[in-house]
Structure 1
Amino acid sequence: MTQRLLRTALAALMLSTPAMAQNADLAAISDYLNGIDTAEATFRQGNPDGSISSGVLKIDRPGLMRFDYAGPGAPVVISDGWWVAVVDRASNAEPQRYPLSATPLKLLLSDNIDLNGENMVRAVEERDGHTIVTAQDPDQPEIGTIRMVFSAEPVELREWAVTNEAGQTTFIVLDTLAYGVPMERRDFAIEWEALQR
């Protein structure tokens, strides 16, 4: 009887340890993301059509993000905290706008990120010294998922992939982020950017 109880206890410990480690990983990653004020990096982007883009990414949390794509007349993608807009520098057309709340990017730009929140994280993997977290908005799972890859020691965001409601996936691979970079508020103003064309 004692041996049976011991085996049961050991089995329970073996089952609970990964969950405990996972919760610790998610807490550390949440703390890291919440600690980002401003950051900047160059990036490479894999698009659903198989093409590759590159440029400079700026983040000013909460809510603000800017992708400056390389090349003459290349577009700019801006999150101003309410909208994510694509500004076509080669056209006088109005920027295409999408509510930030209806994109998985909101999970990166939220004021308070808690990856241990109920039903937010769909999967956690450990691979080659990286933690891979797949998350979604539990209130709007239909808007898609974001799959984030973090290095360890120190924890740092290295890449992410956004899969939208149509099943199309866009990959972003970052060079090392520079933190605490001074930002201009107008860099995240969609109307101001549209006037610069």
Structure 2
Amino acid sequence: MIYTKYLLSAAAFALAAPSAMLVPAAPAQAQAQARTQARGDQLDQVVGALRAISTMQADFTQTDRNGSTVGGSLTLKRPGRIRFQYSRDVNMLVVSDGRALTLIDYDVRQVQRYPISNSPLGALLDPNRDVRRYGRLVPTGNPNVISVAVRDPGKPEYGTITLVFTRNAAAPGGLELTSWVALDAQNTRTTVRLSNQRYGMAVPDRTFTYTDPRRTTNRR
């Protein structure tokens, strides 16, 4: 009888043990789910903030991987249009008309065009680029700063862009784009920092045209 009770007790312990072992895992699983949900919510906020920008103007500084810095003014009009107007001592222009990103070097009279979808800037300009799908949150250590690295793993030649936003109730969608780091397929890194952001102004489409230096020496 004592032996039978021992077997029953052992069996009961064996059945109870797995349940007991699972108890601590439940809170951990709930925390993991909460973190996943929070990341999804932040990505949704980023997508919402980008889509809420109709037009934007800002001052910018651009730093290359060698540490050289140039500045100027930026004009953005969604979808797809952007203009980097450099300061007068930098005789070049970068502009997108919604279809192609064009780099114009007036010193050497050279024009280079790339589809915006093939550029890291596609995450910012291309309405077909799915930031929610290809975006990955980068820890910042600051609850008021959200950083998202966007890269299409199926098309690494498009490069990676890491967008940095700061919470600002006055900005579209409650997030203000403050900087980004673009890394192209050749590992060329470019950092752009924005300041003095303004939103919602009228911007004519002719802002995103340029004078071809191969036909004239005038800069536009």
Q: Provide the TM-score with structure 1 as the length reference.
A: 0.88
Alpha-carbon spacing, 1:179–1:20, altered in 2? closer, same or farther (3 Å): same
Q: Is the CA contact 1:38–1:61 (under 8 Å) kept in the aligned structure 2?
A: yes
Per the alignment, residue 34 of structure 1 pairs with: 51
Greater share of helix? 2
Alpha-carbon spacing, 1:137–1:73, altered in 2? closer, same or farther (3 Å): same
Per the alignment, residue 111 of structure 1 pairs with: 127
Q: Is the CA contact 2:46–2:175 (under 8 Å) kept in the aligned structure 1?
A: yes
Q: Provide the aligned C-alpha RMSD in A.
A: 2.0
Distance 1:136 1:73 in 2: 30
Distance 1:25 1:110 in 2: 20
Task: Find 2:158's aligned residue among 133, 143, 158.
Answer: 143
Q: Is the CA contact 2:39–2:137 (under 8 Å) kept in the aligned structure 1?
A: no
Per the alignment, residue 69 of structure 1 pairs with: 86
Per the alignment, residue 27 of structure 2 pairs with: 10
Q: Which has the larger radius of gyration?
A: 2
Q: What letter matches 1:149 in structure 2?
A: V
Identity across the alignment (%)? 31
Shift of 1:185: 1.0
Per the alignment, residue 10 of structure 2 pairs with: none
Per the alignment, residue 186 of structure 1 pairs with: 206
Distance 1:186 1:19 in 2: 43
Could you list the per-position Cα deviations for residues 52-101 of structure 1 after superposition, in whole angstroms to 9, with x for gaps in the alignment? 0000000011110000011245211001112111122334x241212212
Distance 2:135 2:42 in 1: 12
Paired residues, what number? 193
Distance 2:198 2:100 in 1: 25
Per the alignment, residue 98 of structure 2 pairs with: 81
Q: Which runs of 5+ in 1 are unaligned?
A: none
Distance 1:144 1:18 in 2: 27
